[in-house]
């Protein structure tokens, strides 16, 4: 049996906080306790929000915590061809369509529908995309693309779900409602998710499943805020013929007011805590891993 493979996969769009420290330390401890490998992946596909100084800070903060990871580090921005290949497979299956509406136009479309009754929201609370662009004719699509209009590529969720049978994953941690063990995936709850954009051949969902498979990740340890997204990941894994790792979602670290931590919050930033005299052992205590 090859050793288990873990990964910590931060996005360099801000400084790390206690929530990241919790995920990173849990991954590190699991790798150490199981004789496994720990990878670090930089999820930097959003060029508008990711910055080199945040990436440099990630390496520095993790090293300060005492975490050791394998090199070279995988930076998603250097592997766009891998995501494009996965997107092409889904396109060949007829499961991808372009959507040309702006965010504001979608908000308007949803408001129109909500005028005549409740409209479904995804597990993160955002209204589902109404699917309007699915009915555009091939010639209209070609014309809009040729005109240079921006677009997002969405997964046709109904068609995708028709192609797969029962989807499930093994949850070693727990979901927000105590889900544990074999969890059945409910990707329909997310509607027609975005898989890529005109300028970027991937989204978070697509890149994460491609990378976890390419890197042989066997156990994904991450925060509970991504528990419901795992349903989309299980669907993409099935469609792309990729292995399904085990998942271990951990409860989120919350601030004194019970809110999820933000990258902008100074009180719980690792840099601020370190500057205030905290030691790595203090950080372990603060995230409940002493």
Site residues (vs ligand GLU, CB under 6 A): 9-11, 43, 208, 222, 226
CB neighbours of residue 175 within 10 Å: 15
Q: What 3-state class would DSSP assign to 49?
A: coil
What is d(CA 245, CA 158) in angstroms, rounded to the nearest whole number?
A: 24
Q: Which is nearer to ligand GLU, 39 or 239 (CB)?
A: 39
Q: Which is nearer to ligand GLU, 140 or 260 (CB)?
A: 260
What is d(CA 226, CA 172) in angstroms, rounded to the nearest whole number?
A: 14
Q: At what angle do helices 80-92 and 204-214 cross, to 10 degrees?
A: 110
Please give the C-alpha separations between residue 82 and each of 34, 46, 78, 202, 210, in angstroms, as whole numbers: 30, 16, 9, 9, 7
**Which candidate, 87, 101, 97, places its Cα nearest to that of 158?**
97
What is d(CA 107, CA 104) in angstroms, rounded to the nearest whole number?
A: 5
* Distance in Å, CB of 72 to ligand GLU, minimum: 18
H or E segment and range at residue 169: strand 168-171
* Distance in Å, CB of 171 to ligand GLU, minimum: 14
* Distance in Å, CB of 199 to ligand GLU, minimum: 19
Q: Which is nearer to ligand GLU, 130 or 173 (CB)?
A: 173
Burial of 11 (0-12, 13-18, 19+ CB in 10 A): buried
Q: What tokens does 73 get?
A: 């580090």
CB 36 within 8 A of CB 43: no
* Distance in Å, CB of 158 to ligand GLU, minimum: 25
* Distance in Å, CB of 9 to ligand GLU, minimum: 4
Q: Which is nearer to ligand GLU, 54 or 151 (CB)?
A: 54
Q: What 8-state DSSP symbol labels residue 8?
A: E
Q: Which is nearer to ligand GLU, 136 or 226 (CB)?
A: 226
* Distance in Å, CB of 269 to ligand GLU, minimum: 15
For the chain, the residue count is 290
* Distance in Å, CB of 24 to ligand GLU, minimum: 10
* Distance in Å, CB of 223 to ligand GLU, minimum: 7
Q: Which is nearer to ligand GLU, 208 or 273 (CB)?
A: 208
Looking up tokens 């890197």 gives 215
Q: Which is nearer to ligand GLU, 161 or 217 (CB)?
A: 217
Q: Which is nearer to ligand GLU, 254 or 285 (CB)?
A: 254
What is d(CA 221, CA 247) in angstroms, rounded to the nearest whole number?
A: 6
């Amino acid at each position: 049996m090859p050793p288990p493979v873990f990964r910590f996969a931060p996005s360099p769009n801000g400084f790390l906080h206690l929530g990241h420290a919790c995920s990173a330390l849990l991954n590190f401890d699991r790798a150490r306790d199981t004789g496994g490998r720990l990878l670090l992946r930089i999820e930097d596909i959003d060029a508008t929000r990711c910055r080199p100084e945040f990436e440099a800070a990630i390496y520095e903060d993790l090293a300060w915590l005492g975490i050791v990871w394998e090199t070279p580090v995988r930076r998603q921005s250097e592997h766009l061809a891998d995501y494009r290949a996965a997107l092409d497979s889904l396109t060949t299956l007829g499961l991808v369509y372009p959507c040309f509406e702006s965010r504001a136009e979608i908000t308007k479309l949803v408001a129109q529908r909500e005028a005549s009754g409740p409209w479904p929201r995804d597990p993160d609370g955002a209204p589902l995309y109404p699917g309007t662009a699915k009915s555009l004719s091939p010639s209209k699509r070609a014309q809009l693309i040729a005109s240079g209009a921006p677009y997002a590529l969405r997964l046709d969720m109904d068609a995708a779900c028709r192609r797969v049978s029962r989807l499930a994953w093994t949850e070693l941690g727990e979901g927000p409602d105590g889900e544990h063990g074999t969890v059945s995936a409910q990707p329909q709850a997310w509607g027609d998710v975005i898989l890529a954009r005109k300028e970027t051949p991937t989204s978070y969902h697509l890149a994460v499943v491609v990378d976890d498979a390419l890197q042989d990740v066997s156990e994904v340890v991450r925060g509970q805020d991504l528990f419901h997204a795992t349903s989309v990941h299980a669907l993409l894994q099935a469609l792309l013929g990729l292995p399904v790792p085990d998942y271990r979602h951990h409860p989120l670290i919350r601030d004194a007011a019970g809110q999820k931590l933000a990258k902008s919050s100074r009180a719980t930033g690792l840099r601020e805590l370190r500057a205030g005299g905290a030691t790595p052992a203090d950080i372990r205590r603060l995230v409940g891993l002493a």
